[in-house]
Structure 1
Amino acid sequence: MIFKVAFALGIGVVRKSILELLLRHRNPKAEGGRRGKHSLQRKFVLGIGVVTICIVFLSITVLQRVYNDYAEARDNFAGISSYWLVLDAANRISAERGPANVAMASTNIDNAASLQRLAASRTLTDQSQDRLDIQPPSPFGPVPASLLRQVRQQLLRARNNVDHVAALPPAGRRPDDMKSAIANMFEVVDLLRVLTVWRGNTVIARDPSLAGNVVIASLLTDLREYGGRMGSQIIVPVTFHQKLSQEEGDAKDQTRAHLLEIWRTIESFRVLFEDDARVLQAHDEAERLFFGEGVGYIDSVVSQGKQSGDYLTTASELTERYVPTLRTLERFRVVFLDVLLETMGGIRDHAWFKLVEISLATAAILLTLVGLMLSAHFFLFKPLLLAGEAVVDLAEEREVNVTDPAGIYGGEMLRLFDAIGVLRGKLSERSELTRQLKNEAETDGLTGISNRRVLDFVGENGIGEAAAPSARCLILLDVDHFKAINDTHGHGVGDLVLKEVASLVRSIVPPRAIVARFGGEEFAVLIDGADLGRAVTLGREIRLALQQHRMVTAKGTQINVTASFGVATGLGGLDGWNRLIEEADLALYRAKSDGRNRVRFFMNGAMAQKDCPKTLNTEPRPS
């Protein structure tokens, strides 16, 4: 449930990132422009990362479970394989007693052949024990070396006793010597049983579900051991043609009863192997040949021995007839363990293939996510971010290239860039229209210089970077006798005069000065700073240049134009600007009153007299 919630959250983050990307540039300043505080690409990567982490955690959980199944199947296979080797070693020792009994009971005629069979059997026994030494590492641990060493030492003593008896001539052999050698062989199996119990317990401790199979394998080994013991218990009387003693008869009866008890116990676990035809066939064969023929044959020999020592069979014949029935028990055990290992191997292999399959699927999903992230970055976020930056550039009136030179984007993205191209064209048209409207709103239509609105705005707020209420100087000039020019030459000539005056003034004043049409035939020059002397000097330069300028009409008529000037200095701001206009206007009015074509200035809150201060040179009389 946690993984589902986290996965949904990751998908939500990705979806939200895409939606925010489309709306990102609606307010570039609020979002921080193209370098916003929150990167949508990081959000996308975060979303993909969350989904990836969830998939990884989910995959790890599934992989852990599958790996545990695989590890359990692998360990069970290794445990049963190791148990199989221990049981096989025990079975080989049991099987070695048959050739050993024949060798001790053989005559001079068949002694060489019996010894040869004994040597071959001992080789198989030794090989089974060597396999216990070279088992691969397993979670069950190695076979205890000390216990295996004791088994080999006991086996060596038992073999020495067998060889001693077999080396004696038939007439020199005694029943007690042969019984002692057989008993020594029994002791080897009893000692090895400790090892089989230990290994069986380690397998069951690791996986209790294997208890039934371990028990059956152990019972089948015991079945072969006690089946062999039943034959060994009567081999001595048969060899020496002795009547079976009460003790020997009771021992045989106990062994027979124990065999039947083992078989009934195996039958109670029949559900564990009845589904496999091979095991059932081996079971039926053991039941028919061993319990039907082998046990019956031993019963008949025992019956003869209880009556007298005159047996109808020899020790060699007894072994040759009885041992084949014991091999059915061996085959039952081998088939059962082989099928069990085959099943466990299948479970192990299935778990391994499932582990590999899920691992590859997880790797494919992760690679797909990486590819999705890279593809989304390249084919989705990169073009969208480029488009977003283009929108910001367009909004900030910067030049932007919205084409796709590489031709890598198509479909919706291509249409998006086409749309931005159209938007750029529309914004360019609007920008040009806005510029024209702004120019018309701020420029006098006749003279091409600034109008009164611009002059008032700058006067109140400052020139360039200067801010109100900084000091500034204002020059007001009025064309002398302009009405007479209009009346004499017409309004067309009057308009020409105004244009010429504006052009002349613009050519003389500093670049940062504001030249504006104040109204009618009045013009204004606004200069930043409080240097009244510089402003008066500039006014005189303009007056003199205008006086010396010759204007010619279209008809060739020459017109002499002069102007009166009023200069003042003051602060900006609404109140300061209005006061500055009033003072400059008073100075202009004084210039007109004094005869026109002259410069007058307002200083220190009063109109300057005809004799100017020393800082301001008195202008020459107009010619």
Structure 2
Amino acid sequence: MNRITLEGKLLFATVIVAFLTLVLTASALIPTYASYRSTHDNLLAVERFRQVLEAATRMSAERGPANDVMAIEPGSDALAMERLTNFRRISDLALEALDEPIAVEISSSSPDLQKALADTRDQLRKARGAVDRVAVTPLAERRPEDVQAAIGEMIEVIDTFQAVVDWHVEAFTSGRPELTAPFLTGRMISDMREYGGRAASQIMGPIATRQPLRDSHVTDASRTIGRLLELRTLMQGQKVITDHDALSADLMEDVDTIFFRSGLNLVNILIEQGKISGDYSISAVDLTRDYVPTLRPLERLRTLFLDDVVKRYRAQHDAASYRLSVIAVITASALAVLFMLFRSIRLHMLDPLLTARRQIIALAEGGGITNLETISKAPEMRSLFEALELLGGKLDERAEYEARLKMQAEKDGLTGVWNRRALEGFGKAPSEREEDVCLMLIDIDHFKTVNDTYGHLTGDAVLIEIAALLQSAMRPGDIVARYGGEEFAVLVPTSDLANTMDFAEELRSRIQAHVIRDAETGIDLSITVSIGVASSRGGADGWRPLVASADEALYCAKKKGRNRICVFGGEADWDITASALIPFRARRAASL
């Protein structure tokens, strides 16, 4: 009773100290965890927004191959159709990625996201249908307004998708003002890429049909170019890549040089040509080929910007995670010290006698004992535990010796398989179901010749390899044993004699195909075996008749020329195995 009271007091004191430690830790852990959750959600939000802008870019890029197929004769360019198919598949995959649940807690008053995505898919199907109808129309019959209408449907896809972009901007920046700037900048760069592609698309219809530009074409293209110039002005002086002023400047220089000065200049030239006539300096296909590469600086700008944003928020997340981990480790360490202190006191003051009692009971019941070296012992208890260690060691030695004796009594010392005594134990053991079992007796052919020619060491090697081959072929429940000399036995727990015969033939063939090399002479030995198979009731009463029947069948196999299988009672062996009136040993003596 005193022991329990003392242990209870010790436990109570430990719990109080642990509680106070947790209270102090919580004052630092709670704000750190809040910071961790905030940076974690910001990182997920930025990665999600990158997927949204990527989907917008993929659908915008689909206009390029769509313009190509509307500028050529139907079926004249299989590669153009394949390219359009690939771009459509990429757009579909980008949209499918947005169907994944958002792992960030959000609050948005915008229309349902799924409805916005569904509207985008509907418009995308409508636009693709319009493109496909124009593409199958012979080039001479295509009207500029049909081509431009299909292009307008493709542009409308991006306008419809803006609801998805708006939803994410509002959902992620509401309550997270730190995301407003990178989201708006990312959207601005994405819009620049969209308007860049739209500027050429808006004059693609007349160019594809070699018709002059209408006022509406000129107005739309000029408005788009004006919007591009406004976006470029807003981007002026912005640091696109954090802590990399030179890289930001280089990116904007590429945008100005390659897109604004080269790409837009090409569009302006074509607009001026279209105002006069339909005699353009390049075809619609050539326009796509020459203009699309000028958009790549905008795509690279968007990609590097979003990568940099993700990198910055991942760094913030990692820093918060590190701080949280440090506090958690310190807390866990403090609690671990308290636990170890409680455990140490209990181990040295309360447990030695109880431990000794448990070990003595375990030894009395024939069980083992734990490693007493790991138990801290008071000086007064050292003699007792040393005695327990000595007693445990002696009992272990005895158990090991008994196991070794049992192994020697049941295992063949040369081959490692069961010996005859163990086999008889298995064969005579009562079974749960009174069913027949099958027994194979396997004799190595001409084994005496092997011993006489190559020596007993080679003979032993042959026995070892044959035993290994048999053991490796055994199925669950099968038992292989060395029956004596060059004979092995296989006990099969089944009454299916036909299946056992097939198994015996498999063993015979495997042994015949196996080559054994004599270690002394280097000569390869081909070994064959004769097998006798019998089936009868197992158990103590049926074991001896079963062995006699298998021995009879083995004699049959050897008399018929060896390297074969005989079954006791089989019609093919009736002349040998059915003559039960002549004792088996007498017939063998008569044949010698």
The normalised TM-score by structure 1 is: 0.52
**Aligned-residue CA RMSD (Å):** 3.2
Find the partner of 1:79 among 42, 45, 49.
45
Distance 1:265 1:81 in 2: 24
Match of 2:287 in 1: 318
Match of 1:405 in 2: 380
SS in 2 for 1:342: helix
Alignment CA distance shift 1:372-1:294 (3 Å): same
Match of 1:487 in 2: none
Find the partner of 1:55 among 15, 21, 24.
21
What letter matches 2:289 in structure 1? Answer: E
How big is the shift at 1:307? Answer: 3.3
More deviation, 130-139/265-274: 265-274
What letter matches 1:348 in structure 2? Answer: H
What letter matches 1:405 in structure 2? Answer: E
Match of 2:261 in 1: 292
What are the superposed Cα offsets for residues 404-458 of structure 1, whole Å, 9 maximum, x if unpaired?
73589xxxxxxxxxxxxxxxxxxxxxxxxxxxxxxxxxxxxxxxxxxxxxxxxxx
Count of aligned residue pairs for this structure pair: 352
Match of 1:187 in 2: 156
SS in 1 for 2:130: helix
Match of 1:348 in 2: 317
Q: Is the 8 A contact 1:106 1:114 kept in 2?
A: no
Alignment CA distance shift 1:112-1:364 (3 Å): same
How big is the shift at 1:236? Answer: 1.8
Find the partner of 2:272 among 303, 311, 320.
303
What are the superposed Cα offsets for residues 529-567 of structure 1, whole Å, 9 maximum, x if unpaired?
xxxxxxxxxxxxxxxxxxxxxxxxxxxxxxxxxxxxxxx
Find the partner of 1:129 among 95, 98, 101.
95
Distance 1:130 1:166 in 2: 26
Q: Is the 8 A contact 1:279 1:335 kept in 2?
A: no
Find the partner of 1:231 among 188, 197, 200.
200
Q: Is the 8 A contact 1:273 1:280 kept in 2?
A: no
Match of 1:366 in 2: 335
Alignment CA distance shift 1:326-1:211 (3 Å): same
Structure (1 or 2) with the larger CA radius of gyration: 1
What letter matches 1:199 in structure 2? Answer: H
How big is the shift at 1:377? Answer: 7.6
How big is the shift at 1:284? Answer: 3.3
Distance 2:348 2:52 in 1: 65
Distance 1:284 1:202 in 2: 34
Match of 2:234 in 1: 265
What letter matches 1:173 in structure 2? Answer: R
Find the partner of 1:161 among 120, 124, 130.
130
Q: Give yes or no for the alignment of 1:200 onto 2:169.
A: yes
More deviation, 151-160/343-352: 343-352
Match of 1:104 in 2: 70
Match of 2:185 in 1: 216
Q: Is the 8 A contact 1:278 1:335 kept in 2?
A: no
Q: Give yes or no for the alignment of 1:248 onto 2:217.
A: yes
Structure 2, unpaired ranges of 5+: 352-377, 384-592
SS in 1 for 2:174: helix
Match of 1:91 in 2: 57
More deviation, 83-92/212-221: 83-92
Distance 1:323 1:91 in 2: 13
What letter matches 2:323 in structure 1? Answer: K
Match of 1:115 in 2: 81
More deviation, 105-114/95-104: 105-114
Q: Is the 8 A contact 1:279 1:339 kept in 2?
A: no
What letter matches 1:78 in structure 2? Answer: L
Provide the identity percentage: 32
What letter matches 2:60 in structure 1? Answer: S
Q: Give yes or no for the alignment of 1:171 onto 2:140.
A: yes
Distance 2:9 2:246 in 1: 63
Distance 1:171 1:404 in 2: 108
What letter matches 1:99 in structure 2? Answer: P
More deviation, 181-190/295-304: 295-304
Alignment CA distance shift 1:155-1:342 (3 Å): same
Q: Give yes or no for the alignment of 1:147 onto 2:122.
A: no
The normalised TM-score by structure 2 is: 0.54
What are the superposed Cα offsets for residues 229-286 of structure 1, whole Å, 9 maximum, x if unpaired?
1001111222223333333222222111111111222335426645376655444322
SS in 2 for 1:312: coil
Q: Is the 8 A contact 1:279 1:336 kept in 2?
A: no
Structure 1, unpaired ranges of 5+: 1-34, 383-402, 409-623
Alignment CA distance shift 1:189-1:371 (3 Å): same
Q: Give yes or no for the alignment of 1:65 onto 2:31.
A: yes
How big is the shift at 1:110? Answer: 4.4
Q: Is the 8 A contact 2:240 2:305 kept in 1?
A: no
Q: Is the 8 A contact 1:304 1:310 kept in 2?
A: yes
Match of 2:502 in 1: none
Q: Is the 8 A contact 1:216 1:269 kept in 2?
A: no
Distance 1:157 1:327 in 2: 28
Alignment CA distance shift 1:126-1:216 (3 Å): same
Q: Is the 8 A contact 1:282 1:332 kept in 2?
A: yes
What letter matches 1:292 in structure 2? Answer: R
